[in-house]
Structure 1
């Protein structure tokens, strides 16, 4: 039977951070693996050395095939089971052959420097990972701890939050934690963009409340009432009626992974609904009216739909540089329906979902013809809402303008 594999967490002070048990395992090792920084923290040893880069599968194979008398040690940062190599090796080898000795990790040290608890924080890592899928579920959380990629990460994270209207965070940028060069910088999130820090850093983000906590988002109906949305006192109110919104949102079933676009977002009735329906996705709302845009931003804040990113412009030009969507909603075409349908037919990913609301018969017919010519099998539903109203003590029904809802899925 093979000996256990020791995974040892190191602090910035190298072997001084090791427990007696961990130091004994390192001194007896015949095989030592670690990143270049970890290997540099331990004195040279006449043993087999494995430098970890992007070769974790190779490391797992080497450890799986270790000899019965080999004494294998893997070095990691802080707690190997907190976004560390220990997680990867546990998945590859199982828990039985592993003996793990953690050290203080940057997560613990950073929250200690900020003097905030971390058991109730949202913890994530963008180290070696695409940032947007990691950051979107964190938007609006009252307390966040983030393992970063490099010295540009704090600025990039701030840009991501600020672009979505989140400007009420305090941030602690914690560099080289536990080392003689440790530095902790506290600042408002608006002060972070375009600043560079040392590559070894950890972020703590706290929304602005006196005790570092924030009340949870008040529970609301899945489809809020129309009068809950901020709107201009005069001029057109570009808001899909609540009952129609409910049906339209129901059409977004089995959406494949990817962002969702709302073209002609108006006050954000559907955009907000999509953002809350898909909290781990990015919803991109395009609106060309400066007046509507102001209230669209207010409604994002009102309903804490922080995964909603707003673009001031008109489709398709405003979306030229955007990632291809997994779903598209069209609430208003602005007399650009042909161009919008061209955009949908060219950019929507295979099996992506398209939903559109129309009040004009010509736009409905044009859309159905285009989709069918492209081999789609769209469905269309006519929605006729007649709210009840009081009339001399009696209830009467006043019909609203009918709406046609088109839904289709792009063929593979």
Structure 2
């Protein structure tokens, strides 16, 4: 048979397997399921290198360490022939930015108000993978943000959406609220057309960023991003950025929330992840009281648990300092004696904003001489 002629039996099998996996995806609650090839993102290596060379990755050293595997799916797994990208809608019922008007509450990113999506999606993808492998007689691997996979470029090449100016994926049907997962397989599947960029001249997401973390459209500097700083960054937060945090204590949804495409989002299916009621508007006073065992218990099953109690309370203290609420002073005063330096440091900063100058000076006089940590001492002396 001439090479330019397609084998009808192969085409039929390809179509059958593609239809099968899409049906399985729908049964598992995925709103989107599209297919791309591992070679579909040839521009990714150069873009990733430019991002890393600019230092925009901050302290996320795993990015340069996995650069080669992240740039090309075939380096991660040489035998992969098709990549199936899945999207699950997690859009909120309300624009989460309304919480900025409630300084006594902590604002937790929408994605983290549910059970950890990594566990939810990976469990469902494994079920799909098991049935697909049996049907296709092919090898499979599934990933949910746990391997060096460039999910957003692959999702765009598969037609789930496009990478917006905020660098996140945007869907015409689900706006900026999609969890992504992938299934790599040795099977040959029908490939979908990529989505084109529909951002046009809009810059709503860029203008919405509280810390100006976008040096240009389609570029983000993690070192200024509240999501990075509250989740990935260890130690103290740059004093110049703290006031812009407001009451955002884990992540930030402002650029996602501002996307005009959100208004076209369809109603979620019945399998939509449900937010925990106690994580939608948690009281700062309660969160500031968490010791390590209580923190672990309260955030059991939540992605928040991964950052640990100390980093989380550090974030809550920044929110307390921004609140202007004197009711939070007792909790902050207690935490200047915490064993964790990052907690003590942010407790000092919060009190420097909540207490009258003379009262804070008296507090400094009593505590500064006994403080051994240089970073914490610097917090005491910054307000002199």
TM-score, scaled relative to structure 1: 0.26
Higher strand residue share: 1
Larger of the two Rg values belongs to structure: 1
TM-score, scaled relative to structure 2: 0.28
RCO greater where, 1 or 2, for CA within 8 Å and sep 6 or more?
Answer: 2
Higher helix residue share: 2
